[in-house]
């Protein structure tokens, strides 16, 4: 697939890096030549200097015959115009990064499609949604629902008191119920486990389960739910504002912002939170604002180091749930290891959303999982596709991937070796990057 990415910022660069591993023809397009020089030295992608809203530059970048054009410059209006021009020139599909949540309303999405923009992506909106999910699911590190919750993927950190330690995975099923363990993150590696493998202390274990089995799994994993009422947010970013608004009036929310002008702006836009102008790294300020009475602490300053360290401080002061925005991907594994309850990365969220448009198979959801080098995908099995030709145990499925379950006739099922996938089934697959290209062949 030929993919042109306009914008060599964080999201654009990460997308180029991720997609280049799948042997796509990637062209990264930006006005900043110095950025492009650094990227071309590190990645196997073609870089072209030019303006995203220049028709001649877009033509030079080969937009006229590209399969996918992605506008992810820092400027919403530029991305929208660039996608319109790209579609006019000949791009088959376009995706624009936006900053206005109103554009995501169904009627507005439909309008943008008439303008030649096939999809809209708002990373800050995705991040806020992820944070709220983390706040409401206190016993899990990550959670993702497939087909409206028919099947659930979630991650649990295993501690010393968990009763599932030291038991072969093949023996756990009868004791717990409808679930499958699709991956284990251990010592900075992602394992696709088999029946004889055992869970160890400090493993981050990824389950695919029916909703009815989730409570039983959490109990066996030694996890206890607790109620979150008081929430402190460090940083008055757009993610902070959207998180506070999504949480609504059911929570007592405090937002701490160091910049006075920004604090006033947050106050005017977020009516359900108390906004404090001050330095959130100041221990005395945190104490005076009642951090020891907080149930959750969310750090979204835009600085990964500040967010990680402040979450560590909040933990030491007794806060049960901590969530950090960690945009430096190299820090994600460290943040997870030191016990931060939730890690948010806009680049991974944006990549998850966009990635499904780069696959030949019919993919309705992709979830890039933090603290792993793996993805969870929801494929729709096509009539006559390889995955429907025999039971799962005889498919010769890639070793780096596993089928966790499938949805058929609006009902979720956990997969086993004897399961038969039918045309039209939505199939939940967990995979490491090395198997992604092979998977398309099974579902085409």
For the record, the structure tokens of 52 come out as 């995203």
The domain boundary, picked from 220, 243, 263, lies at 220
Please choose, from the candidates 172, 154, 153, 155, the residue with its C-alpha nearest in 3D space to the C-alpha of residue 163.
Answer: 172
Whether residue 330 lies inside any domain: the answer is no
For the record, the structure tokens of 75 come out as 């400027």
Please choose, from the candidates 127, 184, 179, the residue with its C-alpha nearest in 3D space to the C-alpha of residue 299.
Answer: 127
Same domain, 14 and 114: yes
pLDDT, residue 437, reads 77
Alpha-carbon distance of 37 to 42, in angstroms, equals 9
Burial zone of 427 (CB within 10 Å; 0-12 exposed, 13-18 middle, 19+ buried): buried
Edge-to-edge strands of the sheet including 363-368? 363-368, 375-380, 426-431, 401-408, 411-414
Whether residue 6 lies inside any domain: the answer is yes
Whether residue 97 lies inside any domain: the answer is yes
Same domain, 423 and 407: yes
Alpha-carbon distance of 94 to 117, in angstroms, equals 5
Alpha-carbon distance of 209 to 178, in angstroms, equals 6
Same domain, 375 and 314: no
**How much is the pTM?**
0.86
Alpha-carbon distance of 91 to 175, in angstroms, equals 53
Judge whether 299 and 138 are in contact, CB under 8 Å: no
Edge-to-edge strands of the sheet including 119-121? 46-49, 25-30, 2-6, 68-71, 94-97, 119-121
pLDDT, residue 172, reads 81
pLDDT, residue 250, reads 92
Whether residue 332 lies inside any domain: the answer is no
Whether residue 380 lies inside any domain: the answer is yes
The count of domains in the chain is: 4
Same domain, 208 and 238: no
Please choose, from the candidates 434, 14, 20, 73, the residue with its C-alpha nearest in 3D space to the C-alpha of residue 2.
Answer: 20
The domain boundary, picked from 75, 105, 121, lies at 121
Same domain, 156 and 104: no
Whether residue 324 lies inside any domain: the answer is no
CATH code assigned at 413: 3.30.70.1450
Same domain, 249 and 310: yes
Same domain, 116 and 136: no
Alpha-carbon distance of 431 to 444, in angstroms, equals 17
Pairing of strands 426-431, 401-408: antiparallel
Judge whether 86 and 50 are in contact, CB under 8 Å: no
Alpha-carbon distance of 22 to 67, in angstroms, equals 15
pLDDT, residue 147, reads 87
Profile the chain (444 residues) by mean pLDDT over runs of 10 residues: 92 86 87 90 91 95 95 95 97 94 90 94 92 87 87 91 88 73 88 88 92 88 88 96 94 96 95 94 91 96 94 93 91 87 88 80 77 83 93 91 93 92 94 81 89
Same domain, 173 and 284: no
User: Measured in whole angstroms, how far is the alpha carbon of residue 11 from the centre of its chain?
Assistant: 13
pLDDT, residue 57, reads 95
Q: Which helix (H) or strand (E) holds 342?
A: strand 342-344
Phi, psi angles (nearest 5°) of residue 220? -65, -30
Range of the domain at 145: 128-220
**Helices and strands per DSSP (H, E), number in the chain:** 15, 22
For the record, the structure tokens of 174 come out as 């009868």
Place of tokens 């806020």: 128
Query: Per-residue b/e over 279-310, b at no fewer than 16 CB within 10 Å?
Result: ebeeeeebeebebeebbbbbbbbebbebbbeb
DSSP 102: G
CATH code assigned at 115: 3.40.50.720
The domain boundary, picked from 199, 220, 241, lies at 220
Same domain, 260 and 355: no
Whether residue 333 lies inside any domain: the answer is no
pLDDT, residue 140, reads 87
Judge whether 164 and 154 are in contact, CB under 8 Å: no
Whether residue 96 lies inside any domain: the answer is yes
- What is 146-172 written as a DSSP string? EGGGTEEEEEEE--TT-TTBT-BHHHH
Alpha-carbon distance of 313 to 311, in angstroms, equals 5
Same domain, 194 and 259: no
DSSP SS3 for 289? coil
Same domain, 113 and 10: yes
Same domain, 292 and 238: yes
Helix H segments across 331-376?
332-337, 346-355
């Amino acid at each position: 697939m030929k993919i042109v990415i306009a914008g060599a910022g964080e999201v654009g660069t990460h997308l180029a890096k991720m997609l280049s591993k799948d042997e796509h023809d990637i062209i990264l397009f930006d006005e900043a030549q110095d950025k492009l020089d650094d990227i071309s030295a590190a990645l196997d992608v073609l870089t072209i200097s030019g303006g995203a809203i220049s028709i001649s530059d877009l033509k030079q970048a080969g937009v006229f015959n590209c399969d996918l054009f992605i506008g992810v410059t820092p400027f919403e209006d530029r991305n929208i115009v660039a996608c319109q021009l790209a579609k006019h020139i000949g791009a088959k599909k376009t995706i624009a990064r936006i900053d206005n949540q109103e554009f995501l309303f169904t009627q507005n999405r439909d309008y943008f499609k008439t303008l030649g923009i096939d999809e809209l992506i708002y990373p800050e909106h995705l991040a806020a949604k992820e944070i709220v999910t983390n706040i409401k699911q206190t016993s899990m590190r990550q959670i993702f629902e497939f087909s409206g919750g028919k099947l659930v993927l979630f991650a649990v950190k295993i501690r010393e008191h968990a009763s599932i330690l030291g038991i072969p995975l093949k023996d756990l099923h009868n004791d717990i119920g409808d679930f499958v363990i699709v991956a284990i993150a251990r010592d900075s590696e992602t394992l696709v486990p088999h029946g004889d493998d055992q869970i160890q202390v400090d493993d981050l274990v990824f389950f695919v389960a029916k909703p009815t089995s989730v409570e039983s799994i959490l109990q066996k994993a030694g996890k206890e739910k607790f109620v979150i009422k008081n929430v402190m947010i460090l940083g008055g970013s757009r993610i902070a504002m959207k998180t506070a608004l999504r949480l609504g009036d059911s929570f007592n929310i405090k937002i701490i912002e160091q910049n006075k002008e920004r604090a006033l702006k947050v106050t005017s836009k977020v009516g359900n939170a108390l906004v404090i102008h001050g330095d959130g790294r100041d221990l005395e300020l945190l104490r005076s604002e009642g951090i020891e009475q907080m149930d959750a602490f969310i750090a979204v300053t835009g600085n990964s180091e500040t967010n990680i360290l402040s979450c560590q401080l909040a933990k030491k002061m007794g806060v049960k749930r901590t969530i950090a925005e960690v945009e430096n991907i190299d820090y994600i594994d460290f943040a997870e290891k030191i016990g931060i309850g939730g890690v948010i990365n806009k680049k991974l969220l944006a990549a998850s959303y966009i990635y499904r448009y780069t696959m030949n198979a019919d993919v309705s959801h992709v979830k890039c999982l933090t603290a792993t080098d793996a993805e969870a995908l929801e494929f729709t099995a096509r009539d006559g596709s390889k995955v429907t030709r025999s039971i799962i145990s005889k498919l010769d499925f890639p070793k780096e991937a596993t089928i966790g379950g499938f949805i058929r006739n609006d009902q979720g099922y956990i997969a086993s070796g004897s399961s038969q996938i039918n045309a039209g089934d939505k199939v939940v697959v967990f995979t490491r990057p090395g198997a992604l290209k092979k998977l398309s062949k099974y579902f085409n």
